Homo-oligomer: A and B are copies of this chain.
């Protein structure tokens, strides 16, 4: 892999100058007194030889590697990882950095291994990412350098990037109010564990707060709230059935995520009800299926790419402490309409 590369010494020799001169010219050092001609000769030589500095050698001296570690709990299981990584990748490239990826799988031994691996490689900073928005404990070993939490917070008050779930909740509620829904808005997906335990998820509580506060401000409250143990499609299905079994049918249902909404769609389809004619559905996440459903599901999108990007920006450009909330744009599709009666 990449043998026969020209070294700085080669460049210097060809330019008829010392390594020192070549190094300074190529690094654009200010305050050096090298002549314009020397500059030209070095650039020409580097160009001709296709010179590229050896990062290992450089970082041995400078302790900078232009490498960022992206440590996450789980990358595969969730499709959201891709967005976070892609955003981080883009922002890294813009800053001439590269991403070293490791995964802890929530396992202490793996985490230990991952941390050592990245410290051995002298990364310039760490992005510590969680796949579900939550609070977590950061391993002390990485606190020695710059760290940004992605989709997570920690007791240490480290800089962190989070989706603005509360605002998203508000937008979802506002959307329904604007369509004229009032006293028959139901909710699917409250979950005692998820809401209460910030180590599992911060999203649920924030979304609910946004929804509640907005409705309350309009003098409205939820007509029903169905709890579900997890946020899977079968739970959405079951929840929607229990809602339909009640005496008054809701005019709109807010689902805490798209998987629940998907299950709700299935229950509504079986019951012969149409969306949004009979019932409007609104949700969170913007999973790819939201666009495949018929009608398309309106949902507040998790801005993963933006978040990944932001994390790198904060890590490298260092801008105070945050927390930074990234807006969740509402994807308006066809699942919301005015109430039928």
Taken residue by residue from 4 to 32, chain A's Cβ proximity to chain B (1 for < 8 Å, 0 otherwise) reads as 01000000000000000000000000000
Contact B65 A75 (CB under 8 A): no
Taken residue by residue from 277 to 317, chain A's Cβ proximity to chain B (1 for < 8 Å, 0 otherwise) reads as 00000000000110010100000000001000000000000
Known: A1-B144, A3-B144, A57-B60. A82 touches B86 (CB 8 A): no
Taken residue by residue from 58 to 85, chain A's Cβ proximity to chain B (1 for < 8 Å, 0 otherwise) reads as 0110010101001000011111011101
Contact B233 A292 (CB under 8 A): yes
- A118–B2 Cα gap in the complex (Å)? 10
- A233–B290 Cα gap in the complex (Å)? 11
Write the nearest CB–CB distance from A6 to chain B, whole angstroms.
12
Choice from B54, B103, B142, B146 contacting A122 with Cβ under 8 Å: B54
- B-side contacts of A233, CB under 8 Å: 292
A244 at interface, CB cutoff 8 A: no
Contact B79 A145 (CB under 8 A): no
Choice from B59, B98, B145 contacting A56 with Cβ under 8 Å: B59
- B-side contacts of A118, CB under 8 Å: 98
A41 at interface, CB cutoff 8 A: no
Contact A89 B75 (CB under 8 A): yes
- B-side contacts of A2, CB under 8 Å: 119, 122, 144-145
Segment touching B, from A109-117, A158-166, A197-205? A109-117
- B-side contacts of A54, CB under 8 Å: 60, 120, 122
Q: Residue of B at shortest CB range from A145? A: B1
- B-side contacts of A86, CB under 8 Å: 75-76, 103
Choice from B1, B79, B125, B266 contacting A119 with Cβ under 8 Å: B1
